Structure 1
């Protein structure tokens, strides 16, 4: 998916903008005269920003190589190996949520521990 943003002369940018010098995300909101890049320190004036255009490319590339594999039966294809990732999706005093991905078919499974 590709998204192009061009601004009209009376708009103040509110979408994610990136510094053309260092690539860092610029702060958005109501800027009076300038937007300051927190990373490289460059000050972008609103007229400068309005003359720029941004193109965003979104690409999802699923990978399962180089991840820890465990013996777990895939509920979809019956494969015996799955990779896993853990996230703390609930409060800190509760267990981690484990997300499994089948190494053969990509089926996902969740375990609340």
Structure 2
């Protein structure tokens, strides 16, 4: 969680996380364009519109809405999540998304106990 979403803060937060082959998909905030340029990664953005075109390909607003809806549905079972633990829940969800139905207990423990992905 960042206190301020400045281009500098975003760049420093994302630098250790994005590989050279990453694609930074964002909203239309111009700070992210600077981040993509500084980190030398491909970028794309979506623009939410009530009428007309809402994005292009993987940056279509409906793709983002679908993931948002899926995440909210999954999190309802927890009946509220403390903000300080939100990153843990999001990591858990990413792990489930990555492995689908093939996640073994051993893989889950390996990733849960891992302190870094660098």
Which TM-score bucket, shorter chain as reference?
under 0.3
The structure number with the bigger radius of gyration is: 1
Q: TM-score, normalising length from structure 1?
A: 0.20
Q: TM-score, normalising length from structure 2?
A: 0.20
More helix by share: 2
More strand by share: 1
